[in-house]
A and B are shown apart, each in its own frame.
Chain A
Amino acid sequence: MDAFFLAFTMVFNLETMLIIIAASLFGLFVGAVPGLSATMALALLVPMTFFMEPIPALAAMVTTSAMAIFAGDIPGCLLRMPGTAASAAYTDEAYAMSRNGQADTALGSGLVFSAVGGLFGTAVLIVAAPVLAEFALNFTSFEYFWLILLGITCAIVISSDRPLKGAIMLVAGFLIASIGMNNPAAFPRFTGGNTDLLGGIGFLPMLIGMFAASEVLRSALDRSPKATIVDQPIHNVFKGMWALTVKYPVQILRGSTLGTIVGALPGAGSDIAAWMSYALSKKFSKEPEKFGTGHVEGIIESGAANNSALAGAWIPALVFGIPGDTLTAIVIGVLYMKNLNPGPTLFTNNPQNMYAIYILFIFANLIMIPLGWATIKVAKKLLNVRREILLPIILLACIVGTFGMNNSAFDVGIMLVAGVVAYILEENDFPVAPAILGVVLGPMLEENFVKSMIKADGEFAFFFARPVAGILGILTLMVWTYPLLRMIWRRRSARGKAA
């Protein structure tokens, strides 16, 4: 209980509160401007968190991401352009509602059910994370090895419709992470004798480049004409929300549950949760024919899903250090920087930090309602922000922020190169998220593999000797061989029929 009280004072003090308010406004702004993503918002925050205490830094990350994911609904509804990828699933639906004169209801349900989904995901985080952490205290390098491998596999299988390109990017991430001396044998790899490279490619500069600088490039080169805003007065967005809650309780619960689960799976985040929920909502709806014509049901379900996925993604990130999505990959980088190394000991050694994270999540989802309401009120002005003013400011923030972290010009170089490379890759349909996962998980995978091989005296069978490790290992191998097995099975049954 002492720890809980301590956590309360860590969150509810002037500094943290001011940071939460500032981060909220920042997140709402970035989310509402089409073309600026939630990941970009977090990447831009990283250099600022460098100078903050751990809890205010986490507060900034939690609130910014929650607000950005909600605010992405606003341009979707008024411009037919999703503010963030997480809103893309139901943008057409929300826009259709606006055209029908129901912009109030579309925006209101986006706001209210985002908060509900966020709170649901937080509740699961609070219940599940400590239990998992207790369990994970008994994990050795064998269990971690399989868990990381399974996570990587899931990331490629689930997260992309292009598994081969995803796998290529993942391996590219491994390759980047292997540069330098950060390996169990302390052998300098791929440094070409350059001392700057001995410590490896900086993770944070690379992040800022991949997720912020690359988006500046993309927006700058985007020649599509400016969309026109639906001209419709917005009155009371909260009107009729209670009636919708009573009408669609199953949808809200289903969206939140699916969102949390998808969020917790490595590599899949809010955007995939929203797509899956929207599809599920349509499938189980009593009136599927109304979907696409401006029907609120799907917006409620997937709006809840994308915000619950945010909290869900923190579960594996905190317990195992395995990011649930790109947002938590950034968060893990910040956790390491702040001496809050993810892992089961985070829960036993410093419980107050965990309580503080829970409180932050609840608080962020609650203040989302008034702040989101205010944002909707000024939305039309926000959507008219000129790109040619905004983009140079963001690029400048990238450069200054990267330099400020280590006062290293080399880091700025890494950031810019990463930005250009990420832009070129994305333009050619190579997803960059698996690459960042590869950079985070590659060194962990190698370290646990080497440790396990030493313990096993080189006998690979030992990787299956401990019960939990064995189960995880078999599961991984099953996922790998599933396409092959399915092919064999089909041939057999085809042959059976022919005979």
Chain B
Amino acid sequence: MIRSRMTRRVLLAGATALALGSALGSVQAQTWPSRPITVIVPWGAGGGTDATARMIASILEKQLGQPVPVVNRTGGSGAVGHQAIASADPDGYTIGIATLEIGTMHHQGLTPLTHEAYAPIGLYNSDPAALFVRSDSPYKSVKELLDAVKASADRRFKASGSAQGGVNHLALAGMLKAAGIPVTRVAWVPSEGAAPGLQDLAADGVQIATASLPEAAALISAGRIRPLAIFAPKRDEVMKDVPTFKEASGFDWSIGSWRGIVAPKGTPADVVVRLQAEIGKVVTNPQYLEFMKSKGYATGWTPGDGFRAFMVESDKGLGTTLAEVGLKK
């Protein structure tokens, strides 16, 4: 249909471009990387995904001798950036960070996109979510907060920390569900990532926020916000005084975000293998490990098929949670 509307000149130009493109393509496989490699981050600058992506990019840049610019493609609860990775040319010059949301967005009917649109390179991080209030908040513990929420009118409490249906929204919804409070009791204010959500908490825009501990580190040390609990089976190794949600409330609930590197499906297999090897090297680089430790991010490396299996599992689990909290479409 579209073709019929094209003029001959456009068609001719298109054909020339195509011929040029395919000629370039065959050369690329052998000479990769011969130009900059863009890393697409589906979340805002300043958040955890962005910070880790930039660290990896800067080391990768030195290893490959090519610039590795990081591009933030935010919006659409992560759908825009994840879509941008999937629809980039599969030539090995665009890769991206996939996050937990790739397993939630399609359950919510935001996009048909799933992890199947990618060639998995490797999973490098997974961090549990935590619960925060402002430093001058009257609620000193999870119990006090939950009691107040239970007794309050619907939507009196507002919370933020991620997009609608994002990991931090699920963390809050799952917490309410576990404590036997209707999920609709707390209104969710969508934000373009953890950083603006936490900033909104610090500025008294919302009363509750959920995010991972490292993402909140700057505001915690500035004395503006306070962590109440961490949604994990174990306490954090750095902030040991923050109780787990189970210890603090008696209810069991844990959830965490994860981050992995993916390439668009159809990226030449030899380039994917090369990327797995190169990034596998990045994640053992002392500079990287020190950075991750100093920021409190967990480290690890599950390449290729292992990462695929992990994404399949995560997708299933998130679908169940979303259905339970009534966000599944």
B189→A455 contact, CB < 8 A: yes
B80→A336 contact, CB < 8 A: no
A183-B76 contact, Cβ under 8 Å, with A51-B67, A454-B189: yes
Residues of B with C-beta under 8 A to A137: 199, 202-203
Interface string of A440-473 (1 = CB under 8 A from B): 0000000100110011010000000010000000
Residue on B nearest A196 in the bound complex, by CB: B87
Residue on B nearest A139 in the bound complex, by CB: B203
A181→B75 contact, CB < 8 A: yes
Stretch at the interface among B38-46, B170-178, B226-234, B300-308: B38-46
B33 interface residue per 8 A CB criterion: no
Stretch at the interface among A100-108, A247-255, A337-345, A363-371: A337-345
Residues of B with C-beta under 8 A to A455: 158, 187, 189, 205-206
Residues of A with C-beta under 8 A to B77: 186
B15-59: which have CB < 8 Å to A? 17, 36, 38, 44-46, 50, 54
A139 CA to B201 CA in the complex, in Å? 10
- Contact among A138, A198, A349 with B80 in the assembled complex (CB-CB below 8 Å): A198
Closest Cβ–Cβ distance, residue B277 to chain A (whole Å):
24
A182-B76 contact, Cβ under 8 Å, with A337-B71, A451-B190: yes
Which of the listed residues B79, B89, B93, B188 has the most CB atoms from chain A within 10 Å of its own CB? B79
Which of the listed residues A181, A198, A337, A450 has the most CB atoms from chain B within 10 Å of its own CB? A181
A186-B206 contact, Cβ under 8 Å, with A339-B45, A451-B191: no
A406 CA to B70 CA in the complex, in Å? 12
What are 25 A-B contacts defined by CB distance under 8 Å?
A50-B69, A51-B36, A51-B67, A141-B205, A186-B79, A195-B83, A195-B87, A198-B83, A198-B87, A199-B73, A337-B71, A339-B46, A341-B45, A349-B218, A406-B38, A407-B89, A451-B190, A451-B191, A451-B205, A454-B187, A454-B190, A455-B189, A455-B206, A457-B155, A466-B204
A140 interface residue per 8 A CB criterion: yes
Nearest 3 CB-CB pairings of A with B = A186-B76, A140-B205, A182-B75
A173-205: which have CB < 8 Å to B? 180-184, 186, 195, 198-199
Interface string of B196-237 (1 = CB under 8 A from A): 000110111110000000000010001000000000000000
Closest Cβ–Cβ distance, residue A120 to chain B (whole Å):
32
A138 CA to B71 CA in the complex, in Å? 28
A348 interface residue per 8 A CB criterion: yes
- Interfacial residues, chain B to chain A (CB-CB below 8 A): 17, 36, 38, 44-46, 50, 54, 67, 69-77, 79-80, 83-84, 87, 89, 93, 110-111, 155, 158, 163, 187-192, 195, 199-200, 202-206, 218, 222
Residues of B with C-beta under 8 A to A451: 189-191, 200, 205
A455 CA to B111 CA in the complex, in Å? 26
- Contact among B80, B111, B192 with A447 in the assembled complex (CB-CB below 8 Å): B192
Q: How many residue pairs at the A-B interface have CB separations less than 8 Å?
A: 96
Residues of A with C-beta under 8 A to B46: 339, 341, 345, 349
Residues of B with C-beta under 8 A to A198: 80, 83, 87
A454-B158 contact, Cβ under 8 Å, with A339-B70, A349-B46: yes
Residues of B with C-beta under 8 A to A406: 38
A407 CA to B25 CA in the complex, in Å? 13
A390-447: which have CB < 8 Å to B? 406-407, 409, 447
A183→B75 contact, CB < 8 A: yes
A320 interface residue per 8 A CB criterion: no
Residue on A nearest B160 in the bound complex, by CB: A451
A345 CA to B224 CA in the complex, in Å? 13
B54→A339 contact, CB < 8 A: yes
Residue on A nearest B74 in the bound complex, by CB: A182
A291 interface residue per 8 A CB criterion: no
Residues of B with C-beta under 8 A to A314: none
A466 CA to B203 CA in the complex, in Å? 11
Residues of B with C-beta under 8 A to A409: 17
- Contact among B76, B187, B200 with A181 in the assembled complex (CB-CB below 8 Å): B76
Closest Cβ–Cβ distance, residue A438 to chain B (whole Å):
17
Interface string of A126-142 (1 = CB under 8 A from B): 00000000000111111
A199→B84 contact, CB < 8 A: yes
Residue on A nearest B206 in the bound complex, by CB: A455
Residue on A nearest B191 in the bound complex, by CB: A451
A181-B190 contact, Cβ under 8 Å, with A137-B202, A336-B45, A407-B93: no
Residues of B with C-beta under 8 A to A51: 36, 67, 69
A140 CA to B205 CA in the complex, in Å? 5
A455 CA to B195 CA in the complex, in Å? 18
Residues of A with C-beta under 8 A to B83: 181, 195, 198-199
Residues of B with C-beta under 8 A to A195: 83, 87
Residues of A with C-beta under 8 A to B17: 409
Residues of B with C-beta under 8 A to A141: 189, 200, 205
A406 CA to B93 CA in the complex, in Å? 10
Which of the listed residues B67, B69, B77, B205 has the most CB atoms from chain A within 10 Å of its own CB? B205
Closest Cβ–Cβ distance, residue B184 to chain A (whole Å):
13
A181-B79 contact, Cβ under 8 Å, with A339-B70, A341-B46: yes
A339 CA to B58 CA in the complex, in Å? 13
- Contact among A336, A454, A457 with B72 in the assembled complex (CB-CB below 8 Å): A336
Residues of A with C-beta under 8 A to B218: 345, 348-349
B80→A199 contact, CB < 8 A: yes
